[in-house]
Amino acid sequence: MIKRAAAIGLIAVPTMSVLSACASGDSGGGNQVDKGEKSTKNPLAVNEGAALDVVIFDGGFGQQYAKDAEAEYRKAFPKAQVKHSATQEIQTQLQPRFNGGTPPDLIDNSGAKQMDMGTLVAKKQLTDLNALLDAPSYDDPSKKVRDTLRPGVVEMGQFDSDETWVLYYAYTVYGVWYSKTNLAKLDAQYPETWDDMLKVCEAAKKKGIAGWTYAGKYPYYLPFSLYPFIAKIGGVEVLRRIDNLEPNAWKDPAVKAAFDAYYELYKKGYILQGTPGLTHIESQTAWNEGKALFLPNGSWVENESKKTTPADFQMSVGAPSSLDKNDKLPFGTLWASGGEPFIVPKNARNPQGGMELLRLMLGRKSSQNFIKSVSSLTSLNGGTEGLTLPPGLASSQEVLTKAGKNVVNPRLGDWYVALQKEKIGVGALGEMMAGRLTPDEAITKIQRFADETAKDDSVKKYKHK
């Protein structure tokens, strides 16, 4: 559970019934184009004249990085037509295509309306990407693609077998984001203890500044700092039991301690007024405007909020503050994991082309283009050599180095999208932080949600190996 992992894109809340309709059946492959001739330059045997259909989530990372990679694909296969589509409505737009057996060849399955990955895997609607992972890497044919990826990336794409269904392209660092400039105005530094966090928030309040804000309409952003806080307090085994849907996992004392701490932010008036009604963009804008000091988020925030970020903001990310001396893990423990989940549908007409585009994207040129364009790391291990990193990304590198092996990777949101987003996020955490539930009430509610999911035979279950 403690490992270097890699980054998530924005997140999703589709209902299970809709997702089941989206991923019904185990047919497909009959409409696929013939494979091409396998060669050193074409290790996946791409049909050089076959069209390629790509759908990209148009969110925090935009879509230009994908268009640039597609241009490189066209250079490699000049006879191939590449259709590029971008949307924030991934599930809504692609459900009819999955149902009709005509899905795209490559999908960036991200965003607030992504398709439920666990359901897609359970319904056998995805192509196993091990062929891609075992292919020669784009820059060094002596290395397989899998051997060039950050630790934890391959495992994140696996569920309950050795097949790899998802390739997470970005590498996100989650935590408590802040402005060094705005903290300096209060003669403060990032608080390494919770007592200091409360002191900084109180000092800000006296200046008419809120301590925290967050995406109130999408409160499943809160776990980006809350889950590693829980692990820091009680150890990674607490998150492991939560991921495994074990009975009473949410009633662990570490969960209660973390919830109490976050609830104190509400009770002391340290949350920006109106936060429960803010979108992720609105909360980021308020934060950039100096209305609040701290924001739980992922490292895509630097690119997503750049239009409103002051030039002297000095965007940075901090690991969860230490609760007290009894914490099981040291300060610096944080969540970093794979993001921007790319999938190749089983019914894709040109799955080899979809995998080849991913192989190209994991090359040094495309990876560095992504890093420079959107201020985020990729799953390619390294790739930043020679680049001048913007403040937020440089900070992400710094906290990762400090964390060392103390990097956690909760899987609940990967395995049970509806549980994580609709129920835990919107139904409980959002209510607690708005003062409509106490921590005890939120924990009881979440445990009930988890138990219901555990008992629901229609939901495929996954466990840590």
| Per-residue pLDDT tens digits for 375-416 | 889 999 888 888 999 999 999 989 998 999 999 999 999 889
- pLDDT category at 58 given cuts 50, 70, 90 is very high
Confirm whether 405 is domain-assigned: no
Which DSSP helix (H) or strand (E) runs through 183? helix 180-184
- 148 in the same domain as 206: no
Q: What is the DSSP letter of 149?
A: B
Q: What are the pLDDT digits (tens) for 4-46?
A: 333 333 333 333 333 333 444 444 456 899 999 999 999 999 9
Residues 363 and 305 placed together within one structural domain of the fold = no
Residue 72 has pLDDT above 50, yes or no: yes
Residue 345 has pLDDT above 70, yes or no: yes
The predicted structure's pLDDT at residue 118 = 85
pLDDT tens digit sequence for 131-158: 999 999 999 999 999 999 988 899 999 9
pLDDT at 461: 92
The Cβ of residue 244 has, within 10 Å, a number of other Cβ atoms equal to: 17
Dist CA 110 CA 169 (whole Å): 11
Whether 331 and 417 share a structural domain: yes
Identify the weakest region by mean pLDDT among 28-37, 94-103, 149-158, 438-447: 28-37
pLDDT of residue 13: 33
Does one domain contain both 232 and 154?
A: no
Do 180 and 147 belong together in one domain?
A: no
Calculate the average pLDDT of the chain: 92
143 and 33 both lie in a single domain: yes
| 201: in domain | yes
Residue 358 domain-assigned? yes
Across residues 150-173, what is the average pLDDT? Answer: 91
Claim to verify: residue 100 and residue 165 sit in the same structural domain: yes
Q: Calculate mean pLDDT across residues 41-62.
A: 95
Residue 113 has pLDDT above 90, yes or no: no
Please check whether residue 432 lies inside any domain of the structure: yes
- Predicted pLDDT at 25: 41
pLDDT of residue 448: 98
Residue 303 lies in a domain: yes
Same domain, 145 and 30: yes
Tell me: do 52 and 73 sit in the same domain.
yes
The whole domain housing 105 covers 16-172+339-386
- Does pLDDT of 333 surpass 70? yes
Cβ pair 259, 431 in contact under 8 A: no
Percent of the chain residues past pLDDT 90, beyond the cut:
82
In a domain, 446, yes or no: yes
In this structure, what are the phi and psi dihedrals at residue 196, rounded to the nearest 5 degrees?
Answer: -70, -35
Q: Does one domain contain both 297 and 331?
A: yes
**For residues 174-192, average pLDDT:** 98
In whole angstroms, what is the distance from residue 76 CA to residue 43 CA? 13
Could you tell me if 233 and 254 are in contact, meaning their C-beta atoms sit under 8 angstroms apart? Answer: yes
Residue 114 to residues 29, 381, 395, Cα–Cα distance (Å): 23, 26, 28
In a domain, 181, yes or no: yes
What total number of domains does the chain contain?
Answer: 2
Specify whether 58 is located in the same domain as 203.
no
Task: Output phi, psi for 210, to 5 deg.
Answer: -80, 155
- Same domain for 451 and 306, yes or no, is yes
Other Cβ atoms less than 10 A from the Cβ of 457: the count is: 6
Beta bridge partners of 53: 83
Q: Looking at residue 118, which CATH number applies to its domain?
A: 3.40.190.10
Is residue 371 within 8 Å of 387, Cβ to Cβ?
A: yes
CB 114 within 8 A of CB 417: yes
Is there a contact between 417 and 118 (Cβ–Cβ < 8 Å)?
yes
Torsion sign, CA atoms 12, 14, 16, 20? negative
Assigned domain for 274 exists: yes
